[in-house]
Every structure is written in structure tokens, then in C-alpha cells.
Structure 1
Amino acid sequence: MTVETGIRRYRRGLQGNWSEEVLRPRIQMLKDGQELPFTVKVAKAQGLIQQAVQEHGVEHCYLGFSGGQDSAVIAHLTELAAPEMEFVFNDTGLEFLETYEYVSWWEKEFKRIITRTKPMKKLADILREDGYPLYSKRIAYMLSTEKRVANLKSQDPRPAGSYKLLASAKVLHTLDAGVKISDKCCHYLKHGPADKYAAEQGFTASILGMRADDSRDRRRNWLTMGCYYPVKKGADRVWPLAFWTEADVAKYHEVVGLPRAGLYDKGFTRNGCRLCGFGCHLASPNKFELLAIWYPKFWKAAMTKFGYFDACERLGIKDGRNIRGLDTV
């Protein structure tokens, strides 16, 4: 993406609050950062971890550990830069078996205990009361309340930008599908428990394995906030891998001999909650289809129990029943 294209796209995303003079150098800075040599990126990542430790004290910092490949890289860098830092794993209760195995492997390999948080709300209650995690976090947020949906359906001038985004993403049919969609899952299953635990322990900085190129939302977040920033509630966010690419992550695993969780060998590109549907409308095969292939018993039981088959059918999202001739369940 050129700098000019980025300016147009992200000024829209930021409701035009940033002038071109401000946004242009930010996009160029990100581009330059992503083109840095691999060894420089490693050094900068370790430097940012050490900076957070110096400014907050290691006893007030924690590393958010998910067991994913990005998380493994930042965890390994932290083991080298600040081995006494606490690691926190936000267990949704629906993680992949391979994720649990990887977390246990890490504890044994690096001789540490990884703290586990638990969800604030049961998944069944979240889906019933709030809605399903489908499409993207941004789209799900736009559709997360009856008022927003009503405004979008009436094309009220206030959400005109949101309506245009839904139209460009080809998901306007969700407004009349009769399926609740929401971004609340992440809050109740992961972010809420993490912030609660951080407050209880007096943590003021969280080290996270986030990359700016991982999604539009994370790119936008970096453009507006950078890689080390405060939030209204909770610990400061620190992104040592902000400039890293997926190729950099793969190279680090290879160079230091760091294994990945086994689910990546099965075609999954992300770990986390097995029933998270973000991105499933675009991916091929998507997570539901991969679940049908690799974990058929779990797939059938969970998709039935939590109503995903009905929701996906109403929305036109492939739910795995098309795999291997599984037309019905």
C-alpha cells in the first residue's frame, strides 16, 4: 500500500481527525520500521521490553502469553531480557488442545509458572445476551446493539460511515438476518479478566505480541497510539513486535529453534478460542471448516450446542458442513 492510499484509508478510519501532514509521516514511519533488518528489529524489541521494565519496575509488568506464534516470540525475547517477569495466559476455556500443551511445554522448558485467568462470563450467556463473534471486531462492534442496528437500517446520517463500511464489506444482509453479532466475547473471555488481574496485582504495563501488519485494526491502532501507550483503564500497552512481519516471526522461530504450537501444522493461522468466528467469512478454508476436518466430534457438538450452525446458515457463512460431504449434522 502506498503512503497516499494509506492516508485516504486511515483518515476515513479516524473520522478525518488527523491532517494529512500528521498522518503521512506516521504511515511512512511504519513502512520504514517494517523494512528494518531482522537483527535491528530483534534489538529494538528487546530494548522496548527493557524500557518498560526500567520505567515501571519488573514487578509491575506482565507478559500476555497466548501460546500463539507471535506470543511465543515476544515471550522468548522476554525470557532473555527480563526472565523474572510474570506471564499471564487468559484461558477462555475453549482453547485448542495444542495451545494447552504448548503452555505446559513452556512452563517445563523455561521452569516457570504461567498464571491463568478465567472468563468473566460463560460463552453460552455471551452468545445469547450479546451476540456471536463473526466478521471482524470492528464490524461486530457496529452491530453490537439494537440501537446501532436500527440506525444502520434507517441509514440515519449519524452512522453513514459505518453503513458505507458494511456495504463495502458486503455484509449489509446481517441487518435483517435475525442473528445477534457482537464483539463482547473478547472482553468477557480475555481482556476483561486480564485487566481485572492486572489491577489486582498492581501491574502498570502489559507486554503484548502485537504486530501492526496483523490486521487493519492493529495497523490503525499503531498509527494513532504507537507501540507504547496508556489506556483509560488498565496497564499501559507495550508492542515490541509492532514493526515485525509474519516472515520475521517465522524467521525468529527458525533462527533460535523455537517450536510452534502444533495447530499451525493443521492449517490454522491463529490460536485462541476455537469458536471465534472473526474472519470466517473471508478465509478458505475457514476455522469452522478446519474444525470439521481436524476435530469433528468437538465441531459437531459445539456448533450444535451454541447455535453456530443456525447463525452461519442465516448469514451465509460456511460452517464446515460442506466439508467431506457433511451436508447435515
Structure 2
Amino acid sequence: MTRHILGLSGGKDSTALAILMHKEVPQMEYFFCDTGKELAETYEYLERIKARLGIKIKYLNSERDFDHFLMLHGGHLPSPKIRWCTEEMKIKPLERFVGNDETISYIGIRADEIRDGYISRKPNIHPVYPFKERNLVKADIIRILDESGIGMPDYYRWRSRSGCFFCFFQRKYEWVMLSEEHPDLFAQAVEYEMSEAKSKGTGYTWTQGETLLEIIARKDQIIADHEKAIAREKKTSPKLSLAEVLESVLDDEDDEMPCLACHL
């Protein structure tokens, strides 16, 4: 018997895909790869999804969090060049969850996106892309979320992607807002960064060329520049939602593609 699975990240695209598919594929298995370093808003959003759709979500990794794998990797933090976090905490748990069963994996890449659909290279896991097949774009995803009553996760007020609170793909404005919204989590991110630099002598920083404390030292300028960019984008594209405006502005700052398994 073929299994049908859909991974939720706590982001808008995978959520919209779950909304789209849950009646069409009643045997769907939903899962969330829990790093133990998620925002509280992410867990709240997953609870909202479960309640609205009447589904169960299997949480993977509950017994082994980020710090466990950090120790296994000799205390070396992940980076855009060495993404051990995605491999250890997203892909491998998915493959253990599936085992050798023939499986169809539903992936929320939109028709207006150009990016790699890689999740797993196991031959028994077969990816499908319902948004692409139906030519659904970002505006459709937002409509699906609104019509379902689930809406967007709360962190989309200041952050355009799901994932760990210290994800190295965050833009500088998002780091500033993490310090405002969750000062305790920001302090943990600083501690990780300083520990890596001190123990390994690498000069490692979560964001290229600047430590988190250096970013915060000029946070007023970062916020001011961001607000000017938001105002320009609103004027240029008045029909965009606030979440779309934020995403567009942050993408202009840094459009490097994050890990697919983390941010759909």
C-alpha cells in the first residue's frame, strides 16, 4: 500500500497545501520535523491547523533536538555552506519515518517559484507538486489560507519564513525583530555565536560579516531603512497584502534561497 505524506513547516505554503489536500487525500499523513528551536508561534500555528482541519500531525525529532546534533558535530554551528541541520533534523527523520514504504510526498512549491524540489533521494519517496500542477501562485496560497480561516502565522508580522529562531538565512531586520519579539531567544542566539567564535576561533557569525551584537548596535538604522522600503513597496504595489509587502522587501535585502525542507 502506498503511503501519502505531507510535511508541515509552520509556514504558509505547506499549510495551504494541507488545506488543499486534506479532503482529496483522506489517508494523508502529516508530519512536522521539530528541531526544538522553533518559535512559540510556530507551535501555536500547528495547533490551529490541527483544530481547523481535524487532522493529526506527527512530530518527528522529539527525543533529539538541535543541541544533541550540535554536540555530535563537535560544536560547529550550521551555515549556508554546511547545512547539517537540514540533513540531520529534516531529511533523515523523514526517511526514518517513511522507511522502505512506497510513498508519495506532497511538496508545496508554487507555480511562480523556481527552486529545487529536493527533499529526499530515496527511490521509494516520490515527490508531487500540486501547486505547480494546478498553476497556483502566491496570491492563491494567501486566498486559500484566508478562506480556510487559518490565515497566516503570527510571526509573519516581522518574519517571512518559518524555521529555527536562529536560522542563518534570516535577514538583518528579522534578527532585530527577534530581539524585540523574543529577547530571550535572541540572547540564546548570541550565546551560540559567541561560543562558536570563542571555542573554535573561527570568527563565526550567524549573518555574514556582522555579529548579532553589531547588528543590534545599529538597529535603529536597520528599522528606519526597512520602514522606508516598506513605504516604497506599498506605493509601488498597493494591492499586495502586508505579508506580501514584507516578503518582497526582505527578498530585496537578501534573496538567497533557504532550505526547502525548512521553509515551505
Report if TM-score (shorter chain) is over 0.5. Answer: yes
Tell me what 1:261 maps to. 153
> Cα gap change, 1:314/1:244 in structure 2, threshold over 3 Å: closer, same or farther?
closer
Which amino acid in structure 1 is aligned with residue 106 of structure 2?
A: I
Count of aligned pairs = 209
Aligned-partner Cα distance in 2 for 1:249–1:270:
15
Deviation at 1:112, TM superposition (A): 2.6
Tell me what 2:126 maps to. 236
Q: Which has the higher contact order (CA 8 A, sep 6+)?
A: 2
Tell me what 2:33 maps to. 90
Which amino acid in structure 2 is aligned with residue 322 of structure 1?
A: I
CA RMSD of aligned residues (A): 3.2
**Are positions 1:221 and 2:88 aligned together?**
no
Residue 107 of structure 1: SS of its match in structure 2?
Answer: helix
Unaligned runs of 5+ in 2: 198-202, 221-264
Tell me what 1:316 maps to. 209
Residue 133 of structure 1: SS of its match in structure 2?
Answer: coil
**Of 265, 277, 293, which aligns to 2:180?**
293
Q: Note the alpha carbon deviations across 1:275-321, whole angstroms, 9 max, x for none.
A: 2212x4xx351x32221121111111232135477522894135264
Tell me what 1:125 maps to. 71
Tell me what 2:140 maps to. 248
Tell me what 1:191 maps to. 91
Deviation at 1:120, TM superposition (A): 7.6
CA contact (8 A) 1:62 1:87 kept: yes
Aligned-partner Cα distance in 2 for 1:275–1:192:
21
Q: Note the alpha carbon deviations across 1:95-124, whole angstroms, 9 max, x for none.
A: 111111111222223333211110586242
Tell me what 1:76 maps to. 19
> Cα gap change, 1:190/1:258 in structure 2, threshold over 3 Å: closer, same or farther?
same
Residue 311 of structure 1: SS of its match in structure 2?
Answer: coil
> Cα gap change, 1:193/1:245 in structure 2, threshold over 3 Å: closer, same or farther?
same
Deviation at 1:191, TM superposition (A): 1.2
Q: TM-score, normalised by structure 2?
A: 0.67
**Are positions 1:209 and 2:155 aligned together?**
no
Structure-to-structure mapping, 1:125-204, within 5 angstroms: 125=71, 128=74, 131-134=77-80, 140=81, 182-199=82-99, 202-204=101-103
Aligned-partner Cα distance in 2 for 1:106–1:186:
23
Which amino acid in structure 2 is aligned with residue 231 of structure 1?
A: R
Tell me what 1:22 maps to. none
> Cα gap change, 1:113/1:203 in structure 2, threshold over 3 Å: closer, same or farther?
farther
Aligned-partner Cα distance in 1 for 2:43–2:168:
20
**Of 162, 183, 187, which aligns to 1:271?**
162
Which range moved further: 190-199 or 297-306? 297-306
Which amino acid in structure 1 is aligned with residue 105 of structure 2?
A: S
Tell me what 1:102 maps to. 45
Q: TM-score, normalised by structure 1?
A: 0.55
Which range moved further: 240-249 or 84-93? 240-249
Aligned-partner Cα distance in 1 for 2:219–2:20:
44
Larger proportion of helix: 1
Unaligned runs of 5+ in 1: 1-55, 135-139, 141-181
